[in-house]
Structure 1
Amino acid sequence: MITAEFFLQGERFSGVSVRGHAGYAAYGHDVVCASVTSAVELVANGITEILKIPASVGAFENEVRIDLPDDLPVEAEQFLKALRLHLELLKQDYPENLRLTDTEV
């Protein structure tokens, strides 16, 4: 299962951690994994390359993490909200392969 943990400071999104494996299909054929990976890459690139916001983006063995700077630019937060919505919609189709959580930081 893929777990997407969204970090909140009050009502504002400040980051996200996406980890795990969907387990929907064999490696290279897993549409859930591909969908999540593509969405996370789009958000990371949109924040850092399009908006030029110095977010911390890390790719680890089984996790991708995006953390926004402390001043929480509104535009970057909108990207995280869009990712949350996208993953919620994907979860409706694949509820056993994707879990979303929110954590106050």
Structure 2
Amino acid sequence: MIRAEFYESDGLMSGFSFSGHADYADIGSDVVCAAVSSAVQLTANLLEDFDFSPDVKVGNNIVKCCVSKGNSSSDKIIFALKNHLEAILDEYPKTIKITTLEV
């Protein structure tokens, strides 16, 4: 299962982390993992391209991305990622666990 944590601060989304595997199919053929990986990469790139200077850390089976000074625009970008994951989860149950933490 992919574990997605979203971080919220003062009512605004300030970051996210992802770890694990969807285990929907074999590695290399897992459409859920591919969709989530692509969405995470797109979100991190958008935050960078719009000058939110995200702190991105990539490790063994984990990605973490946080913005230090979020605003309503960065919030919308991160919230869109969360909405996208919820749509994937609707189509592929038991592949993603989504939580939101106040930081």
TM range (shorter): over 0.9
Per the alignment, residue 8 of structure 1 pairs with 8
Per the alignment, residue 87 of structure 1 pairs with 85
Q: How many angstroms does 1:58 deviate by? A: 1.0
* Deviation >3 Å, runs of 4+: none
Amino acid in the other structure paired with 1:77: D
Distance in structure 2 (CA, Å) of the matches to 1:35 and 1:18: 13
Per the alignment, residue 59 of structure 2 pairs with 60
Q: How many angstroms does 1:78 deviate by? A: 1.3
Question: What is the number of equivalent residue pairs in this alignment?
Answer: 103
TM-score (structure 2 length as normaliser): 0.95
Root-mean-square deviation (CA, aligned residues, Å) is 0.9
Residue ranges of structure 2 left out of the alignment (5+ in a row):
none
Name the % identity: 38
TM-score (structure 1 length as normaliser): 0.93
